[in-house]
Amino acid sequence: MTLLTLDIENGDRAVRLALKGELDISSAGRVEEQLGKLQDGDPELFVLDLRELEFMDSTGLRLIVRADEAAREQGTRFVIVRGPEPVQRVFEIVGLDSRLDMADEPPAL
């Protein structure tokens, strides 16, 4: 049993990272490590799938904002698949839901 499970799917110059469980300071390190590794592959499309994420806090927000900035710098399209209401609410409170590229369903890899 772990707090957060990471599931990675590789496509043609595209990657999907799905997070399942709870993202907080104790699980952020593992996500950060994977985000770094996957973006190192310089994909055209990076999909962060939050559909099965049950909890996210400001640690998760900061991590996603930095990953988005890094993706922009290297010209990778960074898409976030919307999570359940408690997760989306966190984006909405700080006004990030309109600044990030969000989708209801993952685009094809």
- Which residues are near another protein by CB under 8 A? 1-3, 22, 24-30, 32-33, 35-36, 39-40, 42, 55, 57-59, 61-63, 66-67, 70, 73-74, 86, 89-90, 93-94
Shortest Å distance, C-beta 37 to another protein: 9
Judged by beta carbon, residue 4 or residue 105, the one nearer another protein is 4
Element (H, E) at 14: strand 14-23
Shortest Å distance, C-beta 23 to another protein: 10
Partnered with residue 79 across adjacent β-strands are: 47
Judged by beta carbon, residue 9 or residue 33, the one nearer another protein is 33
**Exposed, middle or buried: residue 17 (CB in 10 Å: 0-12, 13-18, 19+)?**
buried
Judged by beta carbon, residue 80 or residue 90, the one nearer another protein is 90
First to last CA, the chain: 29
